[in-house]
Structure 1
Amino acid sequence: MVIRKDPSEDTCPVARALALVGDRWSLMIVRDAFDGMHRFSDFQRSLAVARNILSDRLRRLVEAGILSTRPASDGSAYQEYVLTEMGESLFPIVVALRQWGEHHLFARGERRSQLVEKRTGKPVPPMMPRAGDGKVLSHDQAEVRKPR
């Protein structure tokens, strides 16, 4: 039997973040919300996920404060799911995963969706961590300092 540690006791921000959005469906829901989806039926159609799994992930994302619910904009009895400020702050994470996937998981010339800036229509430039002086920071130029 695997005993999982309570993520709220973990001192690692990556572990805590993954406890909330680290499964495939949660991040795909967030991705679709960035693409303008709000309704359960739209998420289900896009993701082809079982209703019980989608219900569970939407509930978790609402409980975590990443999504909130509101009455449907068309006045129907349905509810819509919208990104909160906390959810919107996941945009760089989704972009970073997208860019990593574009770079490593597609052959040159292979068809894929593309993230572009609305104003110019140009691809969004690669995201890179930067030092205080603005220079690109590599993994060996940073370190994690763990609490004692």
Structure 2
Amino acid sequence: MLDEVNSQCPVARALEVLGDRWALMILRDAFDGLRRFSEFQKNLGLAKNILASRLKLLVECGLLALQPASDGSAYKEYVLTEKGRSVFPIVVGLRQWGERFLFEAGEARSALVDRASGHAVQMLEVRAGDGRVLRAEDCQRTLVRHT
């Protein structure tokens, strides 16, 4: 549970849901089209009890929804919700940071490409309302109340 100071921080709240490695890896696989428990388990090599608990959390938090299988079988499928799909830029940002800093030159790795063109996805940038690229030193935190 978050303390009073961190309860006002969107990063701290997001980490309560997304701060677990497996949660992000499950969402990564969901973006790649995986839907069934067995697909996630095979791709991640994760113990079934851990996978079940992470999938349950992602459903409870509204990032995934459990629905009948699209092929009409008795299975259930986990599908991304709008809230879940909105995590995509976070996963892309982590991927791009990892590509930049955690691989040696010539080391094999997966790549994210635009399905339509086959070209690599451009680096994410944080931009001001007027389109300027912002760096960390250009920003500050402030407390706001949304109505």
**Secondary structure class of the residue paired with 2:8:** coil
Question: Which AA in structure 2 matches 1:80?
Answer: E
- Which of these residues, 61, 64, 67, is aligned with residue 64 of structure 2? 67
How many angstroms does 1:108 deviate by? 1.5
Aligned residues with identical type, % of pairs: 58
What TM-score comes out, normalization by structure 2 length? 0.93
Matched with 1:34 is 31
Asked if 1 retains the 8 angstrom alpha-carbon contact of 2:2 and 2:12, the reply is: no
- Which residues of structure 1 form unaligned runs of 5+? none
Instruction: After TM superposition, give the deviation of residue 147 of structure 1 in Å.
Output: 5.7
Equivalenced residues, count: 144
SS of the aligned residue for 1:69 comes to strand
Q: Aligned partners of 1:115, 1:88: CA distance in 2, in Å?
A: 16
- Aligned mates of 2:35, 2:47 — CA distance in 1: 17
Deviation at 1:74, TM superposition (A): 1.9
Q: Deviations over 1:8-38 (max 9, x none)?
A: x700000101101110000000000000000
Q: 1:119 aligns with which of 103, 116, 121?
A: 116
Counterpart for residue 48 of structure 2? 51
Q: Matches of 2:2 and 2:124 in 1, distance apart?
A: 32
User: How far apart are residue 5 of structure 1 and its match?
Assistant: 2.9
Give the corresponding residue for 2:138.
141
The corresponding residue for 1:24 is: 21
Matched, 1:88 2:73: no
Q: CA deviation at 1:146?
A: 3.2
Q: Does 1:78 align with 2:90?
A: no
Is contact 1:72-1:79 (8 Å) kept?
yes
Gaps in structure 2 of 5+ consecutive residues: none
* Cα offset, 1:96, TM superposition: 0.3
For 1:103, which of 90, 100, 104 is the aligned residue? 100
Q: Distance in 1 between matches of 2:62 and 2:98?
A: 27
State how far apart, in whole Å, the 2-side matches of 1:107 and 1:71 are.
43
Q: Judge which range, 9-18 or 24-33, deviates more.
A: 9-18
The DSSP-based 3-state class of the residue aligned with 1:52 is helix
SS at 1:10 equivalent: helix
